[in-house]
Structure 1
Amino acid sequence: MAFLLGVRTRKRLFVKYDPCGIVTPFVTVHRIPVALLCETTMLRKYFTLVLAVGLSLSTHAEQLSGYVVGITDGDTLTLLVDQQLHKIRVAGIDAPERHQPFGERSKQSLAKLAFNKNAIVDCAKKDRYKRDLCKVMVDGQDVGLKQIADGMAWWYRKYAHEQSRTDSVAYEQAEGMARRLQVGLWVDAKPAPPWDWRRTVRSRLDF
């Protein structure tokens, strides 16, 4: 809420709009109006906050380089980095679960792309299972994008906002092409997305 400031002179009271919304005497400090100092301080605090948020986000980003020593399923692998194992969830995709149609084939496809190979991963965060959520590159190839293009995974549209614009467009187009060509899991007329399949399994267990 903005306030009006009274500026008293010897004979008159002038009214001035305070852009900072803080009631302060309209005086000067080293000939600089207090209102201007207030506005400058607010701007400084704003940019400090923006910088802090940016640094906070950047601290979650991490690039790792290692050797793929395990494949869990079509979107999860194990990376050995400096004698430490990292469970990596490939970002931007969701592969069929192991007991779903194409679940085993999706796993084999990821193994063919990455197992026993060097990989570079860019990890933005950890998921709820404490796995590193990463874009995975092997031999200069985006593994997640390749899985989608081969019809071995869905583009995880729900988390498109966590991808770069370039990646989200490429993943969406790759899925559209795989669907039209009926590649991989798209040979089925209506393949069940893994997120729906998991929901169905959970509801049955709760029942």
Structure 2
Amino acid sequence: MLLWLAALAAGAETLTGKVVSVADGDTITILVDREQVKVRFAEIDAPEHGQPWGKRAKQTLIEKIAGHVVRVETKFNDRYGRRVGHVVYSGRDINRELVREGHAWVYRHWLRDETLLDDEAHARGVRAGLWSLPESQRVPPWEWREAHRVSDTRNGVR
């Protein structure tokens, strides 16, 4: 536990850079001092490309921040080497906006800021974004990924 906390503290920093690409609804690449840095949005999980609302979530993120300079309050690196953090543009918490507008779920496994749950409840209540979809199409991305990993393994894909 102490080792994990030390790694977490060591990885915390603030990055400022221009958004040069949007991979999906919760992953961007920013240019920091001529170096491209991949950033995964902390505490949220947007639908995957193959899921309902996945393309819409990505498009929303493009419209919000593509080509703009953002500040990222990073927490740590994930297992894929991405910086994980909160993205701020023009004083706005983009992670929170994506949840409140229904473009992402709160990622409960990594949740630290429980007020994000209020934003998700708001989005559900007004049927914003993905919450406007039929219930059968509202599968959290972590469940969708797990189901597709099992399916891919059965089909010989890893």
Considering the TM-score relative to the shorter chain, is it more than 0.5?
A: yes
- Give the conservation status (yes or no) of the 8 Å contact 1:145–1:170: no
2:143 to 170, 191, 196: 196
Query: In structure 2, how many angstroms separate the alpha carbons of the residues matched to 1:174 and 1:189?
Result: 20
- Give the conservation status (yes or no) of the 8 Å contact 2:7–2:76: no
Structure 2, unaligned stretches of length 5 or more?
none
- Give the conservation status (yes or no) of the 8 Å contact 2:8–2:76: no
Query: In structure 1, how many angstroms separate the alpha carbons of the residues matched to 2:134 and 2:61?
Result: 23
Q: How does 1:1-207 map to 2 (within 5 A)?
A: 57-160=8-111, 163=112, 168-190=113-135, 191-207=138-154
**TM-score, normalised by the number of residues in structure 1:** 0.69
Deviation for aligned residue 1:54: 7.3
Alignment RMSD (CA, Å):
1.7
Note the alpha carbon deviations across 1:167-190, whole angstroms, 9 max, x for none. x23211000010011111001242
Letter in 2 for 1:118: V
Query: In structure 2, how many angstroms separate the alpha carbons of the residues matched to 1:57 and 1:128?
Result: 13
Deviation for aligned residue 1:148: 0.5
Query: In structure 1, how many angstroms separate the alpha carbons of the residues matched to 2:4 and 2:116?
Result: 28
Structure 1, unaligned stretches of length 5 or more?
1-49
* SS of residue matched to 2:52: coil
**TM-score, normalised by the number of residues in structure 2:** 0.90
Aligned length in residues? 151
Structure number with greater Rg is 1
Q: Percent identity?
A: 36
